[in-house]
Amino acid sequence: MDDLLLLILSSPSGAGKTTLTRRLLARLPEFTFSVSHTTRKPRAKEVNGEDYHFVDRTRFEELVANGAFAEWAEVHGNLYGTTLTEIDRARKQGCTGIIFDVDYQGARQIKATRKEAVGIFILPPSLQELERRLRGRASDDEDTIRRRFDKSLVEIEHYPFFDYVLVNDDVEHAVATLEGIVLAERTRRWRMAARAELLLREGVVR
């Protein structure tokens, strides 16, 4: 285990993960975003290599066969995955944390091998507001919106996988809560143990 804080953010589609992740990254410049691979088509404003690495199914399956993924899953009919190189990149860049925007299947797989990872599940204030946000994003067709909305209860059912659950009602409040979680997680005893031990050793040799 090392000092890189692995932060998993999950929610039903449209609850506000992307929005909250952007805001959190603006507050925590030493954090990075894990850029996933996906077979989904890019939305209007999405940038390849920044929002996702957009690839076709053949390339994705090649990466699976090569063992390139820390986790991967099929979500809403498309494949999504986190490559191991994303975590390596964060370490090489000296980041103190990395945010994974993944569904509950991804969260489960990350937690299976990295038990220190911190899982946060984001709830919408209501299902009505969730539907409103999905439509308000204006980037998906009706069929996609419906499919995502219909899956929201399945997603919410998986909240017990996570360490924290927060409601994204007011954005500012939700981001402040996320930042509070990061601050608290950084001061977990096992993260601070080496520092405390250093002081004790210093005391012995004085």
Interface stretch with ligand ADP, choices 8-16, 80-88, 156-164, 175-183 (CB under 6 A): 8-16
| Complete edge-to-edge strand list for the sheet that includes strand 31-33 | 31-33, 97-101, 5-10, 118-123, 164-167
Q: Out of ligand ADP, ligand 5GP, none, which partner does residue 137 contact, by CB within 5 to 8 A per kind?
A: ligand ADP
Quick check: 14 and 189 in contact, CB under 8 A? Answer: no
Token couple for 162:
């996570």
Buried b (16+ CB within 10 A) or exposed e, 29-46: eebbbbbbbbbbeeeeee
Cα 129 to Cα 21, 107, 124: the distances in Å are 19, 24, 7
Work out what residue 80 binds among ligand ADP, ligand 5GP, none; the CB cut-off runs from 5 to 8 Å by kind: ligand 5GP
Phi and psi torsions of 105, nearest 5°: -70, -40
Residue 102 binds to ligand 5GP (criterion: CB under 6 A): yes
Please give the residues from 113 up to 152 whose contact with ligand ADP meets the rule CB under 6 A.
133, 136-137
Q: Which of 28, 32, 103, 122 binds ligand 5GP (CB under 6 A)?
A: 103
Single out the residue of 4, 5, 8, 13 in contact with ligand ADP (rule: CB under 6 A): 13
Q: Which two tokens stand for residue 151?
A: 């899956």
Contact partners, residue 17, CB within 8 Å, separation at least 6: 9, 10, 11, 101, 122
For residues 149-168, which are near ligand ADP according to CB under 6 A? Answer: 168
The nearest distance, CB 193 to ligand 5GP, in angstroms, is 31
151 binds, among ligand ADP, ligand 5GP, none (CB under 5 to 8 A by kind): none
Binding mask 105-144 for ligand 5GP (x = CB under 6 A): xx--------------------------------------
How buried is 191 (Cβ within 10 angstroms: 0-12 exposed, 13-18 middle, 19+ buried)? Answer: middle
Instruction: Please say which residue, 10 or 168, places its beta carbon nearer to ligand 5GP.
Output: 10
Binding site for ligand 5GP (CB under 6 A): 10, 13, 17, 36, 40, 71, 73, 75-76, 80-82, 101-103, 105-106
